[in-house]
Structure 1
């Protein structure tokens, strides 16, 4: 009778155990990914056009000024480098490699400090 035939649903082989373990790990990983995604989405806000428009305009102006200052500094630096190269090519090559980065950064600082002063004067 029933005592002689084992119930097959209650038995677990090693393959079945490992399969269940892998499935549980996959579910845990999926839950972790879902929780991480939910955490990231919690900080996302749909932009409000009515209140954020003025701030966006202001940020765009600041960014534009910065990019203009950067490009002006680059063109000044390149113009200075070509002028030096025309006067003394051999001397300029050796000194340009060591001093070009420092002089460019100095030029960039000067141009951005001028932009910042003009912006604060215009705002006041």
Structure 2
């Protein structure tokens, strides 16, 4: 599939890759995270798939200034996302790097949160 940067380009901009596994740490404001992941114009939703109800809930949650009302809107938004089921969240420890000599193809990331296990494999050639 090529270099990680080319994979990202093919997924986000050319939209020719059906699935992309990427780390995600969220953002300080929940609406930023939700807009990015599932909003109709979200970077991590290149197909732009979103129900009209989800789009409206995202808009309302961004514009609501009352913290309690906003929290309820975000809970409702989360329920809509789960009902739509377009995403599978996968949790993993922050650091998970320990390999045997027969694991090949892994290159350490420049930053600790950008793990890329695509292209990692196993070989029986230990020499």
Q: TM-score, normalised by structure 2?
A: 0.27
Which has the greater radius of gyration?
A: 1
Q: TM-score, normalised by structure 1?
A: 0.27
Q: Give the structure with the larger helix fraction.
A: 1
Q: Considering Cα pairs closer than 8 Å and 6+ residues apart, tell me whether 1 or 2 has the greater RCO.
A: 1
